[in-house]
Structure 1
Amino acid sequence: MTFEEMKDMLINYKNMTKTVYRLQEEIKLIKESVNSIREAKAYNPSGLPSGNRFKDETYEKAVKITEEYEKRLNKLFENVEEIYSAQKKITSLMDMLTEEERKVIEARYILGLKWDIIPMRTYMSRATCFRHHDAAITKMIQWADGI
């Protein structure tokens, strides 16, 4: 992993929580749709038996829609798990840093602060913040392969 790739991963950390929330909302809507379709499939307005001799096109379409929704749900669940895994990896890497390094990384990537604000927030000089930042990223790159 390169220095820039690690920075990109850290930048994306903040967006991961928003993405998980959006995916969970989509999962909720799809589950509601699937439940509605299942309820509709259970309703038989004609009262006629539905065996192999009768072809119910609406029922068949509902089954296909339900199957597509379930495929989409599985993909969404996979996406959520990948994001949780990436967040866990970042958190584990940050736990290995010194307190100063972690403060700078959190200020820059988790809180999204500009470099002008970080020295005031961390009570360090700007040069010290950059040194801690670069050291932290370098350490995280080295440890990333082990996690």
Structure 2
Amino acid sequence: MIEEKLQSLGIKLPSPPTPAGSYVPVIRTGNLLFISGQIPIEDGKVIFTGKVSDDNLDTAQKSARMCAINIIAQMKRELGDLDKVSKIVRLTGFVNSVPEFSQQPKVINPASDLLFEIFGEKGKHSRIAVGVASLPLNSMTEIDAIVEFSE
């Protein structure tokens, strides 16, 4: 069902990105997945880089959406079947923003909206959206997730 939803939205999940450091992309404990921060990587390359400001809000939103797609790719790799997802519990969104920028929630909204659209009620989650001075590989955004699943 979730795979069909992805297909109807024209989303083809990429191979999940490999970690950029000394950590694992997903930890499974009990019925929770803790998904490490995902940046906007496509085919091994960071697509959206640099500081976010009012001038490039649209681009930053695309970056956040790509982070969400990479989160879903990590879920798929770990669970095998996205229909096992019972709840997106929480997202934490980091925005590589200039000091005067204060629209971090608006940047992360497309990631949240995509999860709502794909998973329906199961996609509704709590969230944090914060501005930071820099992110790995000069990425515009980074988002991690906590996801509940059932076998």
Length-normalised TM-score, structure 2:
0.29
Determine which structure has the larger helix proportion and give its number.
1
Length-normalised TM-score, structure 1:
0.30
Determine which structure has the larger strand proportion and give its number.
2
Larger Rg: 1
